[in-house]
Amino acid sequence: MDDKPSSGTVSESSELLFSFGVIADIQYANLEDGYNYQGNRRRYYRHSLVHLQDAIEHWNKESSRPCCVLQLGDIIDGYNAQYKASEKSLELVMNVFQMLQVPVHHTWGNHEFYNFSREYLTNSKLNTKFLEDQIVHHPETVPTGSYYAYHFSPFPKFRFILLDAYDLSVLGVDQSSPKYQQCLKMLKEHNPNMELNSPQGLSEPQFVQFNGGFSQEQLNWLNAVLTFSDRNQEKVVIVSHLPIYPDASDTVCLAWNYRDALAVIWSHECVVCFFAGHTHDGGYSEDPFGVHHVNVEGVIETAPDSQAFGTVHVYPDRMVLRGRGRVTDRVMNYKREKPFPFSV
């Protein structure tokens, strides 16, 4: 239904390599509709499950079936914790995902941590690290810390990297642990408000409790994987619940140390796209290094008569996002290859 023509200049002659699905912020809860914190966006807590079902039916029927789906986090709403419905709601959503005929990669957002501890998530069906790929003879590309991150290659010369944007966070961490104290200190140094979810008056508004960041350990690992991908002339797609590029997002939604993540990515050639959720309104910008930052519109704030998911079609020279409903179509050309400096 409602097939939109592709935007931009799409050369029909070039070969489709593979496709993948994207969906963000399902935030299911068995609740009447409500509103966001500011009171200006309606949230369709129950209907989000119907939106997910429709998306899965669509992906299962697509002529070029996606190789996988990226679920960008906040799969159930934090309200479930208040109503002691976290496990039941997660089970309902996961039962719907069972209908999907291709693998789904789950990222973790703030609402995962409102409902569950990190330990619980690690042992749950939301941990899809078993889908990771190993690169033989490159131990530096194996994640070794306590963060939830991995990479996989769905097609030769393409690699996807899932990042943990709540690696540094006060959410989901045992409050008696040194890590909690370290993260709380970092948050309070940047946010003097009594209410740590409030960005009021902050010069760096991303330092709020509902966000988080990337540890140096995780950034070192990301750097190692990107170094491998550069050497092997791979194209890389990065996935994270939190966005990292200010021009594509409300600054209050960015990862705490988004600059550190950008610095790593910008020191490599291989990254093509960065997909994030969390913003609900969506957003897009191409940064000066040719990386396309896409914030996917959230299911939870999508009216029953619309939709919010997309399929990305990958070509040798570009990725084309076909958005459904609120998700905008995008043509994302790869940056021009720099000539190899030592070639003869």
Q: Which residues bind Zn ion (CB under 5 A)?
A: 74, 109-110, 278
* SS3 (DSSP) at 134: coil
Sequence-distant (6+) residues with CB within 8 A of 203 are none
Between 66 and 109, whose beta carbon lies closer to Zn ion? 109
CB of 277: closest distance to Zn ion in angstroms? 6
Asked whether the beta carbons of 324 and 24 are under 8 A apart, the reply is no
Q: How far is the CB of 196 from Zn ion (least distance, A)?
A: 16
Q: Tell me the three state secondary structure of residue 281.
A: coil
| Separation of alpha carbons 81 and 78, rounded Å | 6
CA dist., res. 298 & res. 282, Å (int): 7
| 109 versus 205: smaller Cβ distance to Zn ion | 109
- When the beta carbons of 7 and 117 are compared against Zn ion, the nearer one is 117
β-pair type (18-23, 69-71): parallel
CB of 110 to Zn ion, least distance (A): 4
Q: How far is the CB of 344 from Zn ion (least distance, A)?
A: 50
Contact 183, 132 (CB under 8 A): no
Strand partners, 274: 238, 293
Q: Looking at the DSSP assignment, which residues form a beta bridge with residue 105?
A: 70
- Straight-line distance from the first to the last Cα atom of the chain, in angstroms, rounded to the nearest whole number: 52
Select 154 or 277, whichever has its Cβ closest to Zn ion. Answer: 277
Residue 78 Cβ vs Zn ion, minimum distance, rounded to whole Å: 9
C-alpha distances in angstroms, 17 versus 32, 67, 141, 314, 340?
A: 42, 10, 25, 6, 25
Write down the least CB distance from residue 222 to Zn ion, Å.
21
Residue placing its CB nearer to Zn ion in the complex, 278 or 322: 278
For Zn ion, the closer of residues 276 and 319 by Cβ is: 276
Reduced 3-state DSSP string for 220-270: HHHHHHHHHHHHCCCEEEEEECCCCCHHHCCHHHCCCCHHHHHHHHHCCCC
Nearer to Zn ion by C-beta: 109 or 282?
109
- Rounded to a whole number of angstroms, the minimum distance from the CB of residue 76 to Zn ion is 12
Amino acid found at 100:
L
